[in-house]
Structure 1
Amino acid sequence: MEPRQTDVSIPLQSPGWGSAAPCPRPDPPPRDYLLWSLFNVLLCSALGGLGCLGFPTLVYSIKARDCNLLGDLEGAQRHGSRARVANIICSVLVSLAWMAFIIIAIVVILSRLRGS
Protein backbone atom coordinates (compact mmCIF):
# COMPACT_ATOMS: atom_id res chain seq x y z
CA MET A 1 0.00 0.00 0.00
CA GLU A 2 1.27 3.29 -1.03
CA PRO A 3 0.99 6.28 1.36
CA ARG A 4 -1.33 8.96 0.21
CA GLN A 5 -0.11 12.53 -0.02
CA THR A 6 -2.37 15.23 1.24
CA ASP A 7 -2.45 18.78 0.03
CA VAL A 8 -0.76 21.03 2.53
CA SER A 9 -1.22 24.74 2.22
CA ILE A 10 0.28 27.31 4.52
CA PRO A 11 -1.89 30.41 4.84
CA LEU A 12 -0.08 33.69 4.36
CA GLN A 13 -2.32 35.43 6.87
CA SER A 14 -3.91 34.20 10.02
CA PRO A 15 -7.66 33.59 9.73
CA GLY A 16 -8.56 36.59 11.85
CA TRP A 17 -6.18 38.98 10.13
CA GLY A 18 -8.01 41.90 8.58
CA SER A 19 -11.43 40.31 8.94
CA ALA A 20 -12.43 42.40 11.93
CA ALA A 21 -12.41 46.17 11.85
CA PRO A 22 -9.65 47.69 13.95
CA CYS A 23 -10.91 48.93 17.27
CA PRO A 24 -10.88 52.72 17.60
CA ARG A 25 -8.28 54.25 19.84
CA PRO A 26 -9.60 55.62 23.08
CA ASP A 27 -9.83 59.39 23.22
CA PRO A 28 -6.90 60.97 25.04
CA PRO A 29 -7.78 62.45 28.41
CA PRO A 30 -8.54 66.17 28.43
CA ARG A 31 -5.57 68.43 29.04
CA ASP A 32 -5.29 70.37 32.27
CA TYR A 33 -2.63 72.98 31.31
CA LEU A 34 -1.12 72.88 34.81
CA LEU A 35 2.46 73.75 33.77
CA TRP A 36 1.27 76.69 31.69
CA SER A 37 -0.78 77.89 34.67
CA LEU A 38 2.19 77.66 37.02
CA PHE A 39 4.31 79.57 34.54
CA ASN A 40 1.66 82.30 34.31
CA VAL A 41 1.38 82.53 38.10
CA LEU A 42 5.15 82.99 38.37
CA LEU A 43 5.23 85.61 35.61
CA CYS A 44 2.26 87.49 37.06
CA SER A 45 3.81 87.43 40.51
CA ALA A 46 7.04 88.83 39.08
CA LEU A 47 5.08 91.88 37.92
CA GLY A 48 3.88 92.60 41.43
CA GLY A 49 0.34 93.89 41.14
CA LEU A 50 -0.74 91.36 38.52
CA GLY A 51 -0.14 88.33 40.73
CA CYS A 52 -3.85 87.71 41.19
CA LEU A 53 -4.36 87.25 37.42
CA GLY A 54 -2.59 83.91 37.40
CA PHE A 55 -4.51 82.22 40.20
CA PRO A 56 -7.79 81.55 38.34
CA THR A 57 -5.78 79.71 35.69
CA LEU A 58 -4.20 77.58 38.38
CA VAL A 59 -7.57 76.86 40.01
CA TYR A 60 -9.16 75.74 36.72
CA SER A 61 -6.14 73.58 35.94
CA ILE A 62 -6.27 71.84 39.31
CA LYS A 63 -10.03 71.32 38.95
CA ALA A 64 -9.49 69.79 35.49
CA ARG A 65 -6.84 67.43 36.87
CA ASP A 66 -9.07 66.42 39.80
CA CYS A 67 -12.05 65.75 37.53
CA ASN A 68 -9.84 63.71 35.23
CA LEU A 69 -8.58 61.58 38.12
CA LEU A 70 -12.14 61.01 39.34
CA GLY A 71 -13.25 59.90 35.89
CA ASP A 72 -15.46 62.92 35.18
CA LEU A 73 -14.27 63.52 31.62
CA GLU A 74 -16.96 66.09 30.86
CA GLY A 75 -16.00 68.18 33.90
CA ALA A 76 -12.31 67.78 33.09
CA GLN A 77 -12.89 68.97 29.54
CA ARG A 78 -14.98 71.93 30.75
CA HIS A 79 -12.41 73.06 33.33
CA GLY A 80 -9.54 72.36 30.92
CA SER A 81 -11.03 74.61 28.26
CA ARG A 82 -11.61 77.35 30.85
CA ALA A 83 -8.00 76.98 32.00
CA ARG A 84 -6.81 77.27 28.38
CA VAL A 85 -8.80 80.47 27.77
CA ALA A 86 -7.71 81.97 31.09
CA ASN A 87 -4.09 81.09 30.32
CA ILE A 88 -4.30 82.76 26.91
CA ILE A 89 -5.77 85.92 28.44
CA CYS A 90 -3.21 85.94 31.24
CA SER A 91 -0.31 85.35 28.85
CA VAL A 92 -1.41 88.21 26.60
CA LEU A 93 -1.84 90.60 29.54
CA VAL A 94 1.51 89.64 31.04
CA SER A 95 3.23 90.06 27.67
CA LEU A 96 1.69 93.50 27.21
CA ALA A 97 2.65 94.51 30.75
CA TRP A 98 6.25 93.35 30.24
CA MET A 99 6.47 95.22 26.94
CA ALA A 100 5.10 98.39 28.56
CA PHE A 101 7.60 98.00 31.41
CA ILE A 102 10.51 97.62 28.97
CA ILE A 103 9.38 100.57 26.84
CA ILE A 104 9.01 102.80 29.91
CA ALA A 105 12.44 101.73 31.15
CA ILE A 106 14.01 102.53 27.78
CA VAL A 107 12.33 105.93 27.64
CA VAL A 108 13.50 106.79 31.17
CA ILE A 109 17.06 105.68 30.43
CA LEU A 110 17.17 107.63 27.16
CA SER A 111 15.73 110.78 28.78
CA ARG A 112 18.40 110.61 31.52
CA LEU A 113 21.14 110.16 28.94
CA ARG A 114 19.96 113.18 26.93
CA GLY A 115 19.63 115.30 30.06
CA SER A 116 23.22 114.82 31.12
Structure 2
Amino acid sequence: MSTESTDTTNKPTSYMMEPPPSYVNQGFDPPRGGMIGFANASAPQVHTTVVNIIPGELSIRDHLPWSVFNTFYMNFCCLGFIAVIFSVKSRDRKVIGDRIGAMSYGSTARNLNIAATMFTVITIIIVLIMLLSAPRPQRIG
Protein backbone atom coordinates (compact mmCIF):
# COMPACT_ATOMS: atom_id res chain seq x y z
CA MET A 1 0.00 0.00 0.00
CA SER A 2 1.32 3.38 -0.98
CA THR A 3 1.51 6.33 1.46
CA GLU A 4 0.70 8.80 -1.28
CA SER A 5 -2.88 9.44 -2.06
CA THR A 6 -3.78 9.91 -5.68
CA ASP A 7 -7.40 10.51 -4.90
CA THR A 8 -8.57 13.96 -6.02
CA THR A 9 -12.19 13.50 -5.14
CA ASN A 10 -12.06 15.78 -2.08
CA LYS A 11 -11.04 18.81 -4.25
CA PRO A 12 -13.73 20.90 -5.96
CA THR A 13 -14.25 20.07 -9.58
CA SER A 14 -14.40 23.71 -10.72
CA TYR A 15 -10.84 24.22 -9.55
CA MET A 16 -9.54 21.40 -11.63
CA MET A 17 -11.33 22.23 -14.87
CA GLU A 18 -10.92 26.00 -15.30
CA PRO A 19 -7.62 27.56 -16.33
CA PRO A 20 -6.31 30.52 -14.31
CA PRO A 21 -7.70 33.92 -15.33
CA SER A 22 -5.93 35.81 -18.09
CA TYR A 23 -5.11 39.47 -17.43
CA VAL A 24 -5.18 41.54 -20.59
CA ASN A 25 -3.09 44.67 -21.02
CA GLN A 26 -5.46 47.60 -21.47
CA GLY A 27 -3.16 49.97 -23.34
CA PHE A 28 -0.59 50.75 -20.67
CA ASP A 29 2.72 48.98 -20.75
CA PRO A 30 5.00 50.17 -17.94
CA PRO A 31 8.68 50.11 -18.82
CA ARG A 32 10.49 47.27 -17.17
CA GLY A 33 14.01 48.11 -16.09
CA GLY A 34 14.27 51.03 -18.47
CA MET A 35 13.70 54.74 -18.53
CA ILE A 36 10.29 56.21 -19.21
CA GLY A 37 9.74 56.72 -22.90
CA PHE A 38 12.43 54.30 -24.05
CA ALA A 39 11.15 50.83 -24.75
CA ASN A 40 14.10 48.51 -24.27
CA ALA A 41 16.61 50.82 -22.65
CA SER A 42 18.47 49.61 -19.62
CA ALA A 43 18.23 51.50 -16.35
CA PRO A 44 20.89 54.18 -15.80
CA GLN A 45 23.69 53.06 -13.57
CA VAL A 46 24.37 55.02 -10.43
CA HIS A 47 28.02 55.74 -9.80
CA THR A 48 29.11 56.54 -6.29
CA THR A 49 32.04 58.66 -5.28
CA VAL A 50 33.78 58.40 -1.94
CA VAL A 51 35.59 61.49 -0.69
CA ASN A 52 38.04 60.99 2.14
CA ILE A 53 38.33 64.12 4.25
CA ILE A 54 41.40 64.35 6.39
CA PRO A 55 40.63 66.28 9.61
CA GLY A 56 43.96 68.12 9.51
CA GLU A 57 43.22 69.38 6.01
CA LEU A 58 40.44 71.66 7.26
CA SER A 59 42.72 73.52 9.65
CA ILE A 60 44.66 75.27 6.87
CA ARG A 61 43.18 78.73 6.53
CA ASP A 62 44.24 81.37 4.05
CA HIS A 63 42.31 84.36 5.55
CA LEU A 64 41.53 85.75 2.10
CA PRO A 65 38.20 87.47 2.96
CA TRP A 66 39.78 89.21 5.95
CA SER A 67 42.70 90.31 3.77
CA VAL A 68 40.40 91.73 1.10
CA PHE A 69 38.39 93.58 3.77
CA ASN A 70 41.59 95.03 5.22
CA THR A 71 42.77 96.05 1.75
CA PHE A 72 39.61 98.06 1.06
CA TYR A 73 38.81 99.46 4.52
CA MET A 74 41.84 99.17 6.84
CA ASN A 75 44.88 99.40 4.60
CA PHE A 76 47.32 100.85 7.11
CA CYS A 77 50.68 101.29 5.34
CA CYS A 78 49.62 98.74 2.68
CA LEU A 79 49.55 95.90 5.22
CA GLY A 80 46.14 94.79 3.91
CA PHE A 81 47.45 94.55 0.35
CA ILE A 82 50.48 92.54 1.46
CA ALA A 83 48.13 90.27 3.44
CA VAL A 84 46.14 89.63 0.24
CA ILE A 85 49.33 88.57 -1.52
CA PHE A 86 50.19 86.10 1.24
CA SER A 87 46.60 84.81 1.34
CA VAL A 88 46.66 84.07 -2.38
CA LYS A 89 50.04 82.34 -2.00
CA SER A 90 48.59 80.25 0.83
CA ARG A 91 45.59 79.26 -1.30
CA ASP A 92 47.88 78.31 -4.19
CA ARG A 93 50.01 76.13 -1.91
CA LYS A 94 46.90 74.47 -0.53
CA VAL A 95 45.71 73.62 -4.07
CA ILE A 96 49.12 72.18 -4.96
CA GLY A 97 49.12 70.06 -1.80
CA ASP A 98 51.98 71.76 0.05
CA ARG A 99 50.52 71.82 3.58
CA ILE A 100 53.55 73.31 5.29
CA GLY A 101 53.90 76.14 2.78
CA ALA A 102 50.17 76.86 2.93
CA MET A 103 50.25 77.02 6.73
CA SER A 104 53.28 79.30 6.65
CA TYR A 105 51.76 81.77 4.17
CA GLY A 106 48.41 81.60 5.97
CA SER A 107 50.04 82.39 9.29
CA THR A 108 51.87 85.36 7.76
CA ALA A 109 48.62 86.63 6.23
CA ARG A 110 46.87 86.30 9.61
CA ASN A 111 49.61 88.25 11.38
CA LEU A 112 49.54 90.98 8.74
CA ASN A 113 45.75 91.20 9.04
CA ILE A 114 45.97 91.49 12.81
CA ALA A 115 48.59 94.25 12.50
CA ALA A 116 46.59 96.15 9.87
CA THR A 117 43.39 95.93 11.91
CA MET A 118 45.02 96.97 15.17
CA PHE A 119 46.99 99.87 13.69
CA THR A 120 43.91 101.19 11.87
CA VAL A 121 41.70 100.94 14.96
CA ILE A 122 44.35 102.63 17.12
CA THR A 123 44.77 105.39 14.51
CA ILE A 124 41.00 105.99 14.38
CA ILE A 125 40.81 106.15 18.19
CA ILE A 126 43.72 108.60 18.40
CA VAL A 127 42.19 110.84 15.71
CA LEU A 128 38.81 110.81 17.49
CA ILE A 129 40.43 111.68 20.83
CA MET A 130 42.38 114.50 19.22
CA LEU A 131 39.26 115.89 17.50
CA LEU A 132 37.13 115.72 20.61
CA SER A 133 39.74 117.17 22.96
CA ALA A 134 40.87 120.03 20.71
CA PRO A 135 40.15 123.48 22.14
CA ARG A 136 37.32 125.24 20.42
CA PRO A 137 37.50 128.93 19.66
CA GLN A 138 35.04 130.95 21.68
CA ARG A 139 32.87 133.58 20.12
CA ILE A 140 32.88 136.96 21.61
CA GLY A 141 29.75 138.53 20.94
Tell me if structure 2 keeps the 8 A contact 1:41–1:51.
no
2:91 match: secondary structure: helix
Query: In the aligned structure 2, how far is the partner of 1:39 from the partner of 1:105?
Result: 26
Retained in 2: the 8 A contact 1:43–1:94? no
Q: What TM-score, normalized by structure 2, do the two folds share?
A: 0.54
Deviation digits for residues 80-107 of structure 1, max 9, x if unmatched?
0111111111111111111112112212
3-state SS, counterpart of residue 86 of structure 1 = helix
Matches within 5 A, 1:58-77: 58-77=84-103
- In the alignment, structure 2 segments of 5+ residues that lack a partner are 1-52
Corresponding residue for 2:72?
Answer: 42
Say if 1:41 and 1:55, in contact at 8 Å, map to a contact too.
Answer: yes
Runs (4 or more) in structure 1 with deviation over 6 Å come to: none
Percent of aligned pairs with the same amino acid: 33
CA shift, 1:26, in A, is 2.9
Aligned residues: 87
8 Å Cα contact 2:79/2:113 also seen in 1: no
Q: CA RMSD in A?
A: 2.2
- Once the two structures are TM-superposed, the CA of residue 29 in structure 1 deviates from its matched residue by 4.6
CA offset at residue 52 of structure 1?
1.6
Give the whole-Å Cα distance in 2 for the aligned partners of 1:74 and 1:25.
Answer: 15
Are 1:84 and 2:110 matched, yes or no?
Answer: yes
1:50-104 per-position Cα deviation (integer Å, ceiling 9, x unaligned): 3522111111111111111121111110100111111111111111111112112
TM-score, length-scaled by structure 1: 0.64
Could you say if the C-alpha distance between residues 25 and 73 of structure 1 is closer, same or farther in structure 2, counting changes exceeding 3 Å? closer
Unpaired runs of at least 5, structure 1: 1-23
**Paired AA for residue 33 in structure 1:** H
Q: Which amino acid in structure 1 is aligned with residue 64 of structure 2? A: L
Question: Greater relative contact order (Cα 8 A, min sep 6): structure 1 or 2?
Answer: 1
